[in-house]
Structure 1
Amino acid sequence: MQVERTQVLVRGGGYAGLAAAMLLAWRGVACIVAERHAAASRHPKAHGVNRRSMELLRVVPGLESELFAISRAGANEVDVYIAETVAGPRQRTLIRKSDFDGPSISPAQICTAGQDRVEPVFFKHARAQGADIRFSTTLTTFAQDEEGVTATLRDEASNRDYEVRADYMIAADGAHGVTRDALGIEMEGPGVISHSVSILFEADPAKLIPGGGFVLCYLRNPSFSGVFVSCDDPGRGQLNIAIDPDAEPASAYDATRCAAMVRDALGLGAIDVKILDVLFWRKSALIAKRIADRRVFLIGDAAHLMPPVGGLGGQTALQDAADIAWKLAFVLKGHAGPALLDAYQAERLPVAHIALSRQLANYVERLQPARDDVRLRAHEADYLSAAMGYRYRSDAIALDASDDGAETENPLTPSGSPGTRLAHVVLRQNDRLLSSHDFAGRDYTLFVGPRGAAWAEAARRLAGQGEPILAAHLSVDALDEEGRFLEKTGLFDDGALLVRPDGFIAWRSVSLTEDPATQLAAAFAQVRCLPGPVDPARAAQVAEQAS
């Protein structure tokens, strides 16, 4: 049997799989994507790319602008409310565009494009970066050993079987994928909380959505509950209605019945409605007990299922993809030890629990107030903190005495503590205004206070030795004209902050130490899970602070 060789095999070419392939290829990692379907789904499914996801995706040249180009709504043009019908009086407005005009916490904006528009853009950029994406290709078996993964693929068009040998495999095969079961990984959580029918339809654009922007209406009607979502194509909408499959079979929801349901939900009278597609699905709340098994990593719906009430399910999938992509790239290129990959589960699994808890809270608060039994309050956080303030703890983070053990922090009041997301601060570089996040992306970045030249010199020496680190010396490489960076990162003016490619803080020294070169070298090796010298002075300092 023919055997092909690649570095990473991605099982599944949907939202998460294509994002992973795109970001792997951008980092110069060879990958093959095996997608069993012949083409991407035309159903919108997930909607929107939030600020945190966009921070991770925008490193790919041209991607950010193209995502906004495919969206009918402009950046941040979001209107979310609760009503009996879409056109009826509002019971409560949850989000309006003006809500995004407050203090900026990110250089990225919210894009509301649907998954049916986003996936082709990911596909295009992944292919352009060198990813090998194969539709109508089924992964039938796989086995892993100490050095890699061997999988059998079938080209459905030709019925040809062949083998692929990869260093690692990413399982992005969705909610009904079989990788998780093949690895013997169980899921935990409330399980199926409701059943829904999703109806994609067309109607008169002028009547369907008055005004512009992205509209999301949670429907609390005496006769039904559900959600209306506007789509990127004018006159097209998506309606999700809760149903009881025990009371009526799927065959009961023909085009006539679905059109009537759409009219009832819109509340616009007897308008013409054309049904384009109907899907039946289950709202589930489940998380895999493990999302890594030696050389196989679960991402997206293969790792966690969340009720789509608040958008965090899709964002968690995209962020899983970005996280495993940069970690695999660093390990495959020899820039990090294999133990860095253990940080994927250690960091991302808690985030999935936070996101699921917020989604379940949204489900109860926005749609089903009587279902308080499904909430998971142990991991609940406010929406902004769940979306952008989650914290990482793993061997890839050099935690210090500032860590208070909280699962999240409010991104409006960042601490700069290792394991938290870097604060967005506007910096000037020559005649350009940039975000602090614009300095992160491909390599690690050492941000250095104005009087921390010794730190910057140590970082530049490491870079000269081929290490993946960039020095950003405030007052030299960039100007903090508003004087906010030190305040938002907890540094003195001679301190240093080491930021990972994903924009998370890996290590911090609030001020200059006796031997910054040794200190930095030790910390940089530690957070990349490489063998390196232990800095006794720093260990003693942390122990003293902790006591």
Structure 2
Amino acid sequence: MSVERVPVLIVGAGYAGLSAATLLAWRGVPCRLVERRPSTSRLPKAHGINRRSMEVLRVVPGLEDALFAASRTGANESTLIIAESVTSPPIETLVTKTSLDATPVSPSKICTAGQDRVEPVLLRFARANGADVRFSTTLERFSQRDDGVEAILRDEASGQETKVLADYIVAADGAGGTIRDMGGVKMEGPGVLADTISVLFEADLDAILPGGGFALYYLRNPAFSGAFVTCDEPNHGQINIEYDSTRDQASDFDEERCEELVRQSLGVPDLAVKILDIRPWQMAALLADRMSFGRVFLAGDCAHITPPVGGLGGQTAIQDAADLAWKLALVVKGEAAPALLDSYAIERRPVARIAIARSIANYVERLLPDRQDIRIREDEYGLLETSMGYRYRSDAIIADEFDDGACVEDPLRPSGAPGTRLPHVWLRRGEETISSHDLIGRDFMLFTGPDGGDWIEAARRIALRSKAPLGVCRLGFDVDDPEGLFLPRLRISPEGALLVRPDGYIVWRSRGGNPDPLATLEASFARVRGFDTRQSSGSHAAAFADAS
């Protein structure tokens, strides 16, 4: 048996695994991704990438444009409606093509591409950046050691086994994956909410939906509840119909019955329909009791199963991968302490919890308003707050002295507090208009006001001494703020400073100046990279006092 070495082994080529491979490879970390299937998904199982997911992916040059190019419809061209059928009068219109302008919130737009289009794009960029991706390859078993993980991989075509020694494993093997079971991880939560049949079909949809664009209908039909969604292939659509498993079995849904369900969903009794795929599945809501064990990190459906009403499941998977990628990259390169990785589960599990609660709320509000009993109201927040306003708390974030403990904030009213996402503000760099998010992505970034020169000098000295990536941006020097919004949204003075990590989250803030900026920033920069600063000198400890 041959023995090979790789810093990170990724198992599973869905949204989480492919995003992790792409972002790790782009950060210069060698990784191998293995997938038991022979290819990426050939079915449009999930639809759409939201703004926050596009933000974490757009750091890879060309990826944002490639994702939009893969979609049949343009950015933000979406219609979401509740109705009995596609052709019946709307019960409620949730989204129109003109209601998705979110430029005050994000520089990114919603991409409506289906999973069958997104995964090949991610695969292409993962390989182009150096990731080793192998399909028809199964993880047979693995064991953890003090210095890494030993995994046995099996090539399904040849039967040949290979031993791979890795520093870490990213478990992205999906809802039915086995890695979490090997680690004794338990899934908790409401469990199965509905048995569902998914039907992919071809019909003359142009005659039914003349407006074009991406369309999603939540169907409160007298005969069933479910959903209809357009696909990227012309005249291809998908319905998901719930059924009572005490009366019907999945095998009862043959082509003839599914053709009739398509006609009922569209409200066109004589429509010619070609069935392309019939697939049973269960809508469920479950969360892992742990998202890591030892050197293994769970991401995507392996860690949390989210009802697909609102699209938060796939987004949480992509964002899990983004969080892991920058942390693993720093640790593998020796630019952060391994303790930084402890923050992954601490930060991401609460995000998954509120995503599940919001998705259940969407399910009830849009499809089954009489099922209020299944809602998890203590974890419910608005869709915008859940998708873009979630907050992080961990030892790798230095909270303000007064922290209100809120799980989310309104992205339209940002606080600039540590643990929140950097507010999006349009800035000027020379003749170019850019977003504040265009200044982040690969490295930590220190932002200061126009009178924050001492912080800038301190950051440059620290970057040289620590050998860790730390960029600087001084308002009024490196960029201009024509509308005067940036400092007020960060809630710092012209002498203040703000440290933002590669994923765009604020980790430390000094509202004003400081008598010892070098010691304060050096201690802060060490802590947010997982280094133990408890034995630091008194001047270093000052970093954790209120700098306002």
Per the alignment, residue 338 of structure 1 pairs with 338
2:131 corresponding residue in structure 1: 131
Deviation, 1:153, is 0.8
AA matched with 1:176: G
CA offsets, 1:38-70, max 9 Å, x none? 112211111111110011000111100010011
Partner of 2:8: 8
**Percent identity over paired residues:** 57
- 1:102 Cα deviation (Å)? 5.3
For 2:479 and 2:402, locate their aligned partners in 1 and report how far apart those are by CA, in whole Å.
27
Q: How many Å apart are 1:430 and its aligned residue?
A: 1.1
Partner of 2:472 in structure 1? Answer: 471
Residue 402 to residue 209, structure 1, CA distance change in 2 (3 Å): farther
Question: What's the CA shift string for 1:290-312, capped at 9, x where partnerless?
Answer: 00101000000000001100011
Offset of 1:250 from its aligned partner? 2.1
State the partner residue of 1:347.
Answer: 347
Q: How far off its partner does 1:336 sit?
A: 0.6
Q: How does 1:352-371 map to 2 (within 5 A)?
A: 352-371=352-371
How far apart are the structure 1 equivalents of 2:194 and 2:205?
A: 31
Q: Which residue of 1 aligns with 2:92?
A: 92
1:218 aligns with 2:218: yes
User: CA distance change for structure 1 residues 393 and 207 in 2, over 3 Å: closer, same or farther?
Assistant: same
Q: What's the TM-score once normalised by structure 2's chain length? A: 0.97
Output one character per residue of 1:260-284: Cα deviation in whole Å (capped at 9) or x when no partner. Answer: 1100100023111111111110000
Q: 1:268 to 1:353 in 2, by over 3 A?
A: same
- Post-superposition offset of 1:463: 2.8
CA distance in 2, matches of 1:545, 1:156: 58
Q: CA deviation at 1:464?
A: 3.4
Deviations 1:360-412 (A, max 9, x none): 10011011112112111111100100000000000110111242100000000
The answer to whether the 8 A contact 1:36-1:138 is kept is yes
Unpaired runs of 5+ residues, structure 1, are: none
C-alpha separation in 1, matches of 2:308 and 2:29:
32
Q: Distance in 2 between matches of 1:157 and 1:539?
A: 58
The CA deviation at 1:531 is: 3.6
Deviation at 1:545, TM superposition (A): 9.3
Provide the residue aligned with 1:374 in structure 2.
374
Taking the aligned partners of 2:545 and 2:436, their CA distance within structure 1 comes to 31
- Please give the secondary structure, in 2, of the residue aligned with 1:99: coil
Q: 2: distance between equivalents of 1:520 and 1:206? A: 59
Alignment of 1:455-470 (within 5 A): 455-465=455-465, 466-470=467-471
Cα separation, 1, equivalents of 2:267 and 2:537:
68
CA positional deviation for 1:180: 0.8
**Separation of aligned partners in 2, 1:291 and 1:240:** 29
* 1:519–1:535 contact (8 Å) kept in structure 2: no
8 Å Cα contact 1:401/1:545 also seen in 2: no
SS in structure 2 of the partner of residue 97 of structure 1: coil
What is the RMSD computed on CA atoms of the aligned residues? 1.5
Once the 2 structures are TM-superposed, how far is the Cα of residue 517 of structure 1 from its aligned partner? Answer: 1.2
Give, as a single letter, the amino acid of the residue that structure 2 aligns with 1:395.
Answer: D
1:128-277 matches, within 5 Å, as 128-277=128-277
1 CA distance for matches of 2:170 and 2:508? Answer: 28
Return the alpha-carbon distance in structure 2 between the equivalents of residues 414 and 244 of structure 1. Answer: 45
2:311 alignment counterpart:
311
Counterpart CA distance in 2 for 1:420 and 1:460 is 25
Q: Paired residue for 2:524?
A: 523
The residue identity in structure 2 corresponding to 1:495 is G
Q: After the TM superposition, which segments of 4 or more aligned residues of structure 1 sit over 3 Å from their partners?
A: 531-546
- What per-residue deviation string (whole Å, max 9, x for no partner) do you get for residues 139-192 of structure 1? 110111111111111100001111111000000000000011111011111000
Task: Measure how far apart 1:327 and its partner are.
Answer: 0.5
Return the alpha-carbon distance in structure 2 between the equivalents of residues 268 and 464 of structure 1. 68
- Which amino acid counterpart does residue 414 of structure 1 have in structure 2? P
CA contact (8 A) 1:402 1:417 kept: no
Whole-Å separation in 1 of the counterparts to 2:487 and 2:227: 44
The structure-2 alpha-carbon separation of the partners of 1:216 and 1:162, relative to structure 1 and needing over 3 Å to count, comes to same
* Residue 98 of structure 1, CA deviation: 2.0
DSSP-derived class of the 1:261 partner: helix
Task: Give the match for residue 505 of structure 1.
Answer: 506
- Secondary structure at the aligned position of 2:91 is classed as strand
Question: Given the superposition, is the C-alpha separation of residues 336 and 492 from structure 1 closer, same or farther in structure 2, using an over 3 Å criterion?
Answer: same
- CA distance, structure 1, for counterparts of residue 163 and residue 97 of structure 2: 51
**For residue 326 of structure 1, what is the aligned residue in structure 2?**
326
Q: Equivalents in 2 of 1:461, 1:541: separation in Å?
A: 17
Structure 1 residue identity aligned to 2:516: D
Shift in CA distance, 543/531, structure 1 to aligned 2, threshold 3 Å: closer
3-state DSSP of counterpart to 2:268:
coil
Q: CA deviation at 1:322?
A: 0.6
Letter in 2 for 1:474: L
Code of the aligned partner of 2:485: R
Aligned amino acid, residue 263 of structure 1 = R
**Secondary structure at 2:98 match in 1:** helix
Q: Distance in 1 between matches of 2:2 and 2:60?
A: 33
What is the one-letter code of the residue matched to 1:61? P
Quote how far apart the aligned CAs of 1:539 are. 5.4
CA gap 1:542/1:461 in 2 versus in 1, 3 angstroms:
closer
Q: Is the 8 A contact 1:428 1:478 kept in 2?
A: yes
Report how many residues are paired.
Answer: 546
Moved more, 207-216 or 139-148: 207-216
| Inter-CA distance 115–541: structure 2 relative to 1 (3 Å threshold) | closer
Q: Where in structure 2 are the equivalents of 1:72-87 lying within 5 Å?
A: 72-87=72-87
CA contact (8 A) 1:452 1:494 kept: yes
The normalised TM-score by structure 1 is 0.98
Distance, in Å, in 2 between the alignment partners of 1:23 and 1:296 is 18
On the 8 A contact 1:8/1:32 being kept in 2, the answer is: yes
Within 2, Cα distance between the matches of 1:152 and 1:464?
41
Amino acid at match of 2:455: W
What is the match of residue 121 of structure 1?
A: 121
